[in-house]
A and B are shown apart, each in its own frame.
Chain A
Amino acid sequence: MAASGTNYINCEKGVWSWLTTKDHKRIALMYFFAILAFFLVGGAFAILLRTELLTAEPLFMSGNTYNRAMTLHGSIMVFMVIIPGIPALLGNFALPLMLGAKDVAFPKINLLSWYLLMTGAAIAILSLFWGGVDTGWTFYTPYSSKSADAVTMVVLGAFIMGMSSIMTGLNFIVTIHQLRAPGMTFMRMPLFVWSLYATAIMQILATPVLAITLLLIATERIFAIGIFDPTLGGDPVLFQHFFWFYSHPAVYIMVVPAMGIVSEVIATFSQKTIFGYKAIAFSSIGIAAISFLVWGHHMFVSGQSDLAGSIFAILTMLVGVPTAIKIFNWVATLYKGRIKLDTPMIWTLNFIANFTVGGVTGLFLAAFAVDVHLHDTYFVVAHFHYTMLGGALTGFFSGLYYWFPKMTGRMYNETQGRIAAVLVFIGFNATFIPQFIMGSQGMPRRYHTYDGIFAPYHIASTIGSYVLAAGFIFAIYILIRDMFKGEVCTEKNPWGGTTLEWETQTPPIHENFVEIPTVTSRPYEYR
């Protein structure tokens, strides 16, 4: 890493200094390695699944193996990669810097969050050796009540990772309220901070419900108390209500921080003030609020009452509005800017394109009657990959490249970075466009074997997934290689950003700022 001067990386040495660090930037780097490792494991499962699906009849997996691989892919990507990805890694690194603070409000709890995530992840992955879990990441009852014992372990793992998520959220809310630099009013906060604020609210309000639900499942499995299992007198649909009461806000926990990154990157690489600062900031809060009222749209055909379904359908349409507002504001920001297509900007433009597709296909699914046909088909699979992979993870990589020089004191290889971003975009769309088509033609999801009429789409999708995998492996390889061998970058502000992290040295010193800055205006004041 960077050699010149004292900074947070070289101020202390030894593995122990890392494992016991309370510096938010060091904790962020520890998340960096953990989360990218999880991402590669989750991705490996995805490639195994896609390869298996090359043929309509089993290729190299049994039904049970397929179901377990599918469950692990989903659980790892949701609980270990996307949910902690942006807040815990990039949020941890950037939030105190952007606020002009020395650290987060509770540095020890911050470190504890990291250990909790690792513990939860270890327990969840260990379940593999207890026979694996084949319920899908949704753990729907009563199947999960009857399925293999490893379910209890994965559930425990998810529970512990949830604690980590709650603590990070709480830490961020207190940090944002208490540790803003003098002069930084709420209306002068960077938009990434706003998005982390909205995310943290959802994390601390929704995640406890998941924790309670998972505890109820464990209780039912261990003590045979009927809660969700009808043979014990429980109600399986109740589980779906509980689960989606968390998991719908959770999809916004995943994507709202990515929207924050997009707002930062688009202003910086257009060298132009963001269009509609307030609209973008408040739409994050709007999404957070409405996200709690739409969970029933996952259950239109589940057997909930038609009245409930109707209310959820209309509320779901409303959650589309703040999302649309953001996209319009981003595109308007480009107008009359000074645009430079560096790697973070390419990822961000990919985000806008993919996320728009994810958004409009959400309209199909929110339209009650159309959802009856599309629900639980590959159309849904493609839709949420457009928001989670094409959206959240694409935004995550935009942020990784954006803050890379500040984090590491080195610059990545720009040409290679651009190639990787474009490769991911091509591979991603090649993978998921065929899935939209076969989905609307009626291909159900979570199918290990399938009707031969869908074979051409599956083959196309699998070939696309190989390109996608190559793109991501290349993008990660560049980051890791250049973290150690890249050109040294000590420039404070390589991109011409306006937020406070660009005012301190690169990489920052242990407590971020020699002197706490005073804020006199909004960010993004390019005049």
Chain B
Amino acid sequence: MEKISELLYMLFGWSLPEQASKQAHLVDDLYGVVMIISIVGFVGLMSAMTFFVVRYHRSNSDKSAYIPHNILAETIWTVIPTIIFLGIGVWGLVAYYKMNEIPDDAYKIQVTAKQWMWEFTYDKDGKEASVTEMMYIPIDTPILLDMSSVDVLHSFYVPSFRVKRDVVPGMRSKLSFTATKLGDFRLFCAEFCGTSHSRMRGTVRVVSKKRFNKWLNFEIKEANISDPVELGSRLFQRKGCTSCHSVDGSVIIGPSLKGIYGRQSEMQDGTKVLADADYIRESILKPQAKIVNGYSGVKMNSFAGQLDEKELGYLIKYLETLK
């Protein structure tokens, strides 16, 4: 059986993506068999048609034969296709059920689809971590995706795994597979979902179990930091504050933020202002409102809309610590 499977893939594999899951060959075996049946049927019919058209062309056929029907022929070409078609149908069902067997120990990942991105949520010891675009999975481990959509229909499709399942708002759909190859595999949204449907692509990265655990531990740790100062520090890095403001007293472009909290600074118009939480908040959201003396040539962009109130709070907490 395995030999036949390999032979079929050798013949028709060029028209398919690589096989990177345990399920893939179930699809490909039937694909190959239907391909052979199709080619035989098509070539047979076309040869007969071409032969008849040439042989019985009016230039070498004076009179047509009168053959209104033939019970034997009709029976043969009714019964044989019925058997073949039903055979393919039953095979297709059996393969489908095999593909969708969900092992009890399958590793569960939550997938959230939204216009136009994929979000993957992992769970470890009651702690969660969410990532987007790139889904990490361990090799040779049954995976169970628990999928939902927050807006319209989407469809989770990884050609190399031969899996596809619509993600329907208001419903949870499940999809299971086991990756058998290391590497990156394309993930597509296969159900039309609007303007950027064709941009709703992602990657499934299959890694060793060891590397997966390491990655997961790191992501869980990152996602579960609850210390506001630490969160603020990360925002400070991530939002690009460091490209203009140092924390060690040196001047990059804007004033250094070392010891900013509680500092009295002289403004451009000569007034003195105490840098408290309100002042810092205003300076982030409306940078041009009060400009520290000596920095009038520098124009900072507003971060309004890029930071929510909670994040502003973290940032202020972090800045308080910069003594």
Interface residues of A (CB under 8 A from B): 63-64, 67, 134-136, 140, 142-143, 146-147, 230-231, 235-237, 270-279, 301-303, 306, 309-310, 313-314, 316-318, 320-321, 324-325, 327-329, 331-332, 334-341, 349, 352-353, 356-357, 360-361, 363-364, 366-373, 375-377, 436-437, 440-442, 444-451, 526-527
Q: Do the beta carbons of A302 and B168 come within 8 Å of each other?
A: yes
In whole angstroms, what is the CA distance A213 to B162 when docked? 33
Q: A67-B194, A275-B68, A277-B69 are in contact. Are A325 and B77 (CB under 8 A)?
A: yes
The complex places the Cα of A309 from the Cα of B166 at a distance, in Å, of 14
| Given A143-B194, A301-B166, A352-B49, A270-B56 contact (CB < 8 Å) | yes
Give the Cβ gap from A434 to chain B, nearest Cβ, in Å: 11
Report B-chain residues with C-beta under 8 Å of the C-beta of A230.
Answer: 168-171
List residues of B (31-70) whose CB comes within 8 Å of A's CBs.
Answer: 31, 34-35, 37-38, 41-42, 45-46, 48-49, 52-53, 56-58, 61-70
Q: Do A235 and B170 have beta carbons less than 8 Å apart? A: yes
Mask, B247-260, CB within 8 Å of A = 1, is 00000000000000
CB contacts under 8 Å to A, within B222-239, are: none
Chain B residues near A136: list those with CB within 8 A.
192
A449-B198 in contact (CB<8A): yes
A376 to nearest B CB, angstroms?
Answer: 4
Residues of chain B with a CB closer than 8 A to A303's CB: 165-166, 168, 171, 173
A442 touches B17 (CB 8 A): yes
Q: How large is the interface on B (under 10, 10 to 19, 20 to 34, 35 or more residues)?
A: 35 or more
Interface-facing stretch out of B95-103, B117-125, B310-318: B95-103
- Surface stretch bound by A, among B79-87, B271-279, B291-299: B79-87
B195 within 8 A of A: yes
How close is B75's CB to chain A, nearest CB, in angstroms?
A: 10
B171 to A, closest residue via Cβ: A303
B287 within 8 A of A: no
Q: A317-B85, A321-B81 are in contact. Are A368 and B92 (CB under 8 A)?
A: yes
Q: For the complex, give the distance between the alpha carbons of A360 and B189 in Å.
A: 27
A442 near B86: Cβ-Cβ < 8 Å: no
Contacts of B89 in A (CB 8 A): 313-314, 316-317, 366-368
Known: A143-B153, A349-B53. A369 touches B15 (CB 8 A): no
Verify B152–A146 contact, CB threshold 8 A. yes
CB pair A363–B96 under 8 Å, yes or no, is no
Chain A residues with CB under 8 A of B66: 272-273, 526-527
Q: Which residues of B contact A (CB under 8 A)?
A: 15-17, 26-27, 30-31, 34-35, 37-38, 41-42, 45-46, 48-49, 52-53, 56-58, 61-70, 73-74, 77-78, 81-82, 85-86, 88-93, 95-97, 99-100, 151-153, 155, 157, 159-160, 162-166, 168-171, 173, 186, 188-199, 201
Interface of chain A, main secondary structure: helix
- Measured between alpha carbons, how far is A237 from B149 in the docked complex, in Å? 13
Interfacial chain B residues near A341, Cβ < 8 Å:
53, 57
5 tightest A-B CB contacts, nearest first: A442-B159, A230-B170, A367-B92, A369-B95, A360-B38
Q: List 13 A-B contacts (CB under 8 A).
A: A63-B198, A147-B194, A325-B74, A339-B58, A356-B41, A368-B93, A369-B99, A371-B92, A376-B164, A440-B31, A441-B15, A446-B192, A446-B197
Closest to B24 in A: A373
Residues of A contacting B201 with CB < 8 Å?
451
- List chain A residues, Cβ under 8 A from B81: 320-321, 324-325
Given A301-B166, A369-B92, A376-B157, A335:B52 Cβ within 8 A = yes
Interchain CB contact under 8 A, A338 and B56: yes
Is the beta-carbon distance between A366 and B52 smaller than 8 angstroms?
no
CA of A185 to CA of B95 in the docked complex: distance in angstroms?
A: 48
